[in-house]
Chain A
Amino acid sequence: MTDLLTPVLCENWGTEKSWKLSAYLLSGGFSAAKKALKLAPADVVGIVKDAGLRGRGGAGFPTGLKWSFVPQDNPNPKYLVVNADESEPGTCKDMPLLLASPHTLLEGIVISSYAINCHTAFVYVRGEVVHVARRLQAAVAELHEAGWLGKNIQGSGFDLDIVIHSGAGAYICGEETALLDSLEGRRGQPRLRPPFPAVAGLYASPTVINNVESISTVPSIIKNGAEWFAGMGTEKSNGFTFYSLSGHVKRPGQFEAPLGITFRQLLELSGGMRDSHELKFWTPGGSSTPILTPEHLDVPLDYEGMASVGSMLGTKAMQVFDETTSVVRTTLRWSEFYKHESCGKCTPCREGTWWLVQLLRRLEAGEGQEGDVDKLLAVTEDINGLSFCALAGGAVACVTSAVRHFRPEFELGYTTPAWESFPYERSAVFIKDRPDGQSEGGRV
């Protein structure tokens, strides 16, 4: 057993100007890239495979395996695209990483590009975070100056350029094939697979798409070895990861821990629920993962543990809600999100999410009609599994799981507005600033 928390990626976040190359080098940065450039590319792939790193963007697909699908005999250029379009509600780990230590990702890109023989890599970063774009752009410029990007990097004979590409406000572009369409200058709509991006991705060339956290984890694996990484976590969920807690907890924040930690342990570390309130429901990995309740406090937060209770690990983004929260209101707001973010390509998703919102709006207003909850479930059946990508599945999961755990509360919407059963101002949490400009630790 390892320690409860294992800061690796966030270890340097508190250092002076941690985002600068000089600071990153002082904390041991780029030693992994140096090591990797001396190995054969296939050996780098092998190490990441042996480590058992699984994608941290939500789906959990083994990273090394994904890399090994790139057909090296394909004459087209190979591309690496980093998915930094962090937009899944509740997910807030990649943006702090990129603000505090963009070089962690960039070192990961150098290693990963070398492994798959890619000479042009892209970081697709969501548009609504200007300072993240600033830090990434500046970091790329620093690496060019230092000879870590460009031609023949560090005398290795390997060429690499990284393009920082800002998106423009579309959740769907976090879906890898929609991201590729967007990066090609089109509306971000998912592609039918196969062919998979590893074979025909960006510009119909072999392309690897990985999440920020996945690629950022690669340097630590190269530096410390596959066994070190696989020595953490649980049997099938290796290593460490970010768990993000938000909502009605005393101290929300980021926790880097081995896979398999439980929500009870994380809740304790965050100081528990805000004073005199209790846990009502929570998401394990963003709003697309079925919600859970206090009965799931001790289930290991790994891929298998979450599957065993009918949910998913997703992005490990725990949104925590206490007993003042209306589950109908919360579900409605998630549904409004999916309705707005449905790209419109597939009819079940485009029309279905619209109908979910209509039904939930009248349940929230206490104007639901007898049978509306069943109708809601019937609509989810008309959406689920009938679209190109996973957005629709997420849109359905938050509704079906909420009804499963809290059906009477939805039925209350036939008679009583949610804001009467759960006065909304009671859920609001505003942190007051102290006179010295710092925020108070406690929450009001």
Chain B
Amino acid sequence: MSGKEFQTYFPHSGRIDEANTSTEIDEKTIAELEEIVARYPQPRSAVLPMLHLVQSVDGRVSPRGLEVIAELAGITPAQVSGVATFYTMYRKHPAGKHHIGICVTALCAVMGGDILYDKVSEHLGVGDGETTADGSFSLERIECNAACDFAPVMMVNWEFLDNMTPEKATQILDDLAVGRPVKPNRGATLTSFKENERVLAGFNDGRADEGVSAGEPSLLGLSIAKERGWAAPKPGAAPKEEAPEAKEGSGK
């Protein structure tokens, strides 16, 4: 094999940016971090939600964040850093106000996710893992987000934008850029990456009642069953082995 085909490709590796020491973490943040610790039988279990809370304040995992988490969890900052760099949702550099994820795992990629990613990347002028100069948007090639029946899928601040097309996506980005409200298909009106990170840290924003119960594909089987009068048997009906011909009578 010649060398040229074999390039190392680890876009998500690397360490926390310790050169950038800026932080917005204050006493209130620390009190909230303590609240997270109190949820768990052992303090170290709070590390993941604490990292989400740090991101909700600093937009990334900051060196100060590592220190306070380490102290509360009873481990070293290096250990916290080791955890933070393992998980792709923790950012080494600040996310944009809105964090855009385009699913490029096999199914979404084939269904149009690749085309979508290229268009969005071109529209924003940034690539994978980058943030726009004005700090409005960051972009990420994401992996399967458990919405395959809505492919191709785009996530904004980890809310579902289903059945995306390049046209719809660029419209959404333009709307967000000028502060027009955007409703995800299944979720709460888009706010920001930071505000949603706070929810992931376990601080509910009281917006659970926004949005739909389910998208159309989620209800497809149910609606077909209703149309055709199909249902699970009533309790006490004959078990499967004894009633092979009961099918005719079961539909309405």
Contacts and interface: CB of A to CB of B under 8 A. Distances in A.
B59 to A, nearest CB: 15
Given A87-B143, A269-B224, A329-B110, A99 B186 contact: yes
A138 B218 contact: no
Contacts of A232: 232-233, 240
B148 A91 contact: yes
A179 to B, nearest CB: 11
Nearest to A256: B221
Interface in A208-233: 223-225, 227-228, 230-233
B219 A10 contact: yes
Interface in A330-349: 330-331, 333-334, 337, 340-341, 343
A352 interface: no
Contacts of B163: 430-431, 439
Contacts of B238: 231
Interface stretch (B17-25, B40-48, B129-137): B40-48
Interface residues of B, number: 102
Q: Most chain-B CB neighbours within 10 Å: which of A11, A87, A129, A439?
A: A129
Contacts of B52: 127, 166, 168
B213 A100 contact: yes
A254 interface: yes
A427 interface: yes
Interface stretch (A12-20, A103-111, A303-311, A378-386): A12-20
Contacts of B222: 7, 10-11, 13-14, 254, 256
B204 A255 contact: no
B158 A127 contact: yes
Contacts of B89: 127-128, 167-169
Interface of B: 1, 5-6, 12, 39-42, 44-49, 51-52, 73, 75, 82-83, 86-90, 101, 104-107, 109-112, 114-115, 142-152, 155, 157-160, 163, 165-166, 168, 184, 186-188, 196, 199-202, 204-205, 207-209, 211, 213-225, 228, 230-233, 235-240, 243-247, 250-251
Ranked nearest first, the 9 interchain pairs of A and B with the lowest CB-CB distance are A253-B220, A185-B47, A253-B217, A138-B208, A246-B148, A168-B87, A255-B221, A428-B112, A3-B230
